């Protein structure tokens, strides 16, 4: 029987450490990119741009339509859809209840926005469109 020492040289150990460190670095950079790319960001509108949501697709707690995300995706329902198969059905509750939510950044003073919302009308309840601003020019 022949026994040999299986020792790695210091250079081999350093090379393996650099390789493992490099792979971990690449994985962390990839994870960081994925998290940055898919974070929820308020949208900026170009003149004439339309934002539409038909409540057909949900990702997590958001309705999604293309690159746009709307809040309250957990309220997706098959009842009374305007187009497609789904709608946003807001449950009854105390106080104000909100359906779709959308965040828009970079409002400019004097700009005009037009919003249109379809709602299945129930004569016992009424619906309203609410707009909320933040910062020193906040409004509701």
* pLDDT tens, position by position, 81-128: 778 888 888 888 787 778 888 887 777 777 777 777 777 777 776 777
What is the reported pTM?
A: 0.54
Give how far Cα 11 sits from Cα of 14, 23, 25, 44, Å: 5, 18, 21, 53
**Residue ranges of the domains in the chain?**
9-39, 41-140
Residue 63: both structure tokens together: 């309705």
Nearest alpha-carbon partner for 53 in 118, 124, 130, 139: 118
Dihedral, CA of residue 120, residue 123, residue 124 and residue 129, to nearest 10: 50
Place of tokens 């509108």: 45
H or E stretch covering 37: helix 10-37
Residue 35: per-residue pLDDT:
79
Confidence of residue 21 (pLDDT cuts 50, 70, 90): very high
């Amino acid at each position: 029987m022949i026994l040999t020492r299986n020792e790695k040289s210091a250079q081999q150990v350093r090379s393996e450490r650099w390789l493992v460190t490099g792979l971990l670095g690449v994985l962390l950079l990839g994870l960081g990119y994925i998290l940055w790319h898919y974070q929820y960001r308020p949208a900026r509108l170009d003149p004439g741009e339309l934002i539409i949501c038909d409540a057909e697709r949900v990702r997590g707690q958001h309705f999604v339509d293309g690159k746009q995300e709307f809040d309250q995706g957990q309220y997706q329902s098959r009842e009374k859809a305007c187009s497609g198969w789904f709608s946003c059905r807001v449950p009854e509750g105390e106080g104000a209840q909100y359906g779709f939510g959308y965040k828009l950044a970079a409002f400019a003073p004097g700009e005009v926005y037009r919003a249109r919302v379809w709602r299945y009308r129930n004569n016992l309840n009424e619906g309203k469109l609410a707009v909320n601003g933040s910062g020193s020019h906040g409004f509701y």
